[in-house]
Homo-oligomer: A and B are copies of this chain.
Amino acid sequence: MKPTLQAVADAVGVSRSTVSNAYARPDQLSTALRRRILETAKAIGYPGPNPTARSLRRGFVGSIGVLFTSRLSYAFTDPFAVRFLAGVSEAAERHGVSLLLVPIPSDFEDARRAVENASVDSFCVYCVGDEAWALDAINARGLPFVTTAPRDDAGPDDRYVGIDERAAARGVAAHVASLGHRRVALLGDAVLPDAPAGPLRLSGVDQVPHPTTRGRLAGFADAFAEVGVAWSDLTVLTATGNDRRAAAAAVAGLFDRPDPPTAVLACSDVLALGVLDALGEDADRPDVSVTGFDDIAEAAAVGLTTVRQPAEEKGRISAELLLDPPADPTAGHVLLPTALVVRTSTRPVPRS
């Protein structure tokens, strides 16, 4: 059995409180006694105050929970998520706080329990798909949290760090439209949650449940509406995952149809890269323009036109909002700037 604080106190012949003070409040006792306590502690192998007991008594833990509403191991394969994490950890580092990465089990009850059992002071929720259940659980615990996706049911005091999804998407789309593209396809992950990969029949963008995807699609549509292309003339494709393979699967056969799209606008760079993969494998290589979203490192390497959003910054500010909350509670709503990055993956419509 590891010695406890009490054991040290007994060994030195002082009270428990004094030993505690030796660790946490050096000014509360003479330096001589403090040294003696620390030495004895080392001598009998006392590992220092038990972190759990300390947290219980103090009422806070010193760590912020990071929640990916998808498989945790997946998060590390998503370049944007990784950069976001880098930002979060930078802030955590500065504040001397740890990050608890909580894996979400697929079973709903277990998932809720995972959130309830996390020893943290607050939550940073990185949204992929539906996260309402998680926010409920967090709210039930009364913990502060910040989200990175717009929410339909957000209150004015909710903390949120994001971008103007719609305006940003409209930006790239306008660029594509200006190149003359009129037959275009829009590609998102889980546009309709349980739909199979491929084209979708959507009466409007309102049907899309996930706010991020909805915002981007709406932005795309805005730009094309302005040049006279109606929503019903747009091809909306869904992928069954935010990864290259899923994207390639989603556009399979798309260019074999009559009047194929001359451009594909994807809701993320990863999806766009998947589209390029699919095009690359195609022997005939139709000249299709492709755009992404996020501006991950690989986008630059392959010349992908995309929307840049400050990933690390997003993480950093999210964490900062939790660690150092603004006095004004309504200031917890942060919109970050975005920029259109034009590269070689978008070209004027080929005339044929």
Q: Which residues of B contact A113 (CB under 8 A)?
A: 48
Q: Which residue of B lies closest to A140 (CB)?
A: B47
* C-alpha gap A90/B53 in the complex (Å): 29
**Contact mask for chain A residues 59-103; partner B; CB cutoff 8 A; 1 contact, 0 none:** 001110000000111011100001101110110110011111111
B103 near A101 (CB under 8 angstroms)?
no
Say if the beta carbon of A241 comes within 8 Å of chain B: no
A114 interface neighbour in B50, B77, B96, B117, Cβ under 8 Å: B96
Q: Which of B62, B96, B98, B105 contacts A96 (CB 8 A)?
A: B105
A83 and chain B: residue at smallest CB distance: B76
For residue A258, CB closer than 8 A to chain B, the reply is no
Q: A52 to nearest B CB, angstroms?
A: 5
Q: Which of B93, B97, B102, B142 touches A98 (beta carbons < 8 Å)?
A: B102
Taking each of A48, A76, A113, which has the highest tally of chain B beta carbons within 10 Å of its own beta carbon? A76
User: A116 contacts the other chain (Cβ, under 8 Å)?
Assistant: yes
Q: Is A167 close to B, CB under 8 A?
A: no
Distance between A76 CB and nearest chain B CB, rounded to angstroms:
4
Q: Does B96 lie within 8 Å of A99, measured CB to CB?
A: no
Q: Which residues of B contact A49 (CB under 8 A)?
A: 116
User: What sequence of 0s and 1s flags, for each residue 32-59 of chain A, a beta carbon within 8 Å of any chain B beta carbon?
Assistant: 0000000000000101111111111000
**Chain B hits for A98, CB < 8 A:** 100-103, 114, 118
Q: What would 12 more interface pairs be, CB under 8 Å, given A48-B140, A96-B105? A: A48-B141, A51-B117, A72-B93, A75-B89, A76-B82, A82-B82, A92-B101, A93-B105, A99-B100, A99-B101, A99-B103, A100-B101
